[in-house]
Amino acid sequence: MTMAQIQDIMENKAMVDQREREVLNVSKSILELNSLFKDVASLVVDQGTVLDRIDYNIEQTSIRMKSALGSVQKAEQYQRKNRKMHLIFILSCVVLVLLFLILLTKS
């Protein structure tokens, strides 16, 4: 072998070694990218679960608010009826007292 051939072989080996290092760097980058995608996928699943829980809680709140509105409306109706009953009771007492006074004054 001549000196030129040996030099070509050494240059080729250096180029092969450099390409091998570059391929290893690319391989490491691909592995890191794969890990990042897995992390993102995990975050997406977790966030989806959180969003599902938020959506469920909003639906439950809406249902409970409607139920509470119905309860408040019923309470308001009972309160109105209760006021009417108090008024009728007071007026009845006044009428009875007046009747009693009328009877006392006639006798």
**pTM higher than 0.75 for the full model?**
no
pLDDT for residue 29 is more than 80: yes
Q: What's residue 54's pLDDT?
A: 87
3-state helix, strand and coil shares in percent for the chain, rounded to the nearest 5: 95, 0, 5
What is the average pLDDT score of the chain? 91
pLDDT 10s digits, 50-98 = 888 888 999 999 999 999 999 999 999 888 888 888 999 999 999 999 9
Q: What's residue 1's pLDDT?
A: 77
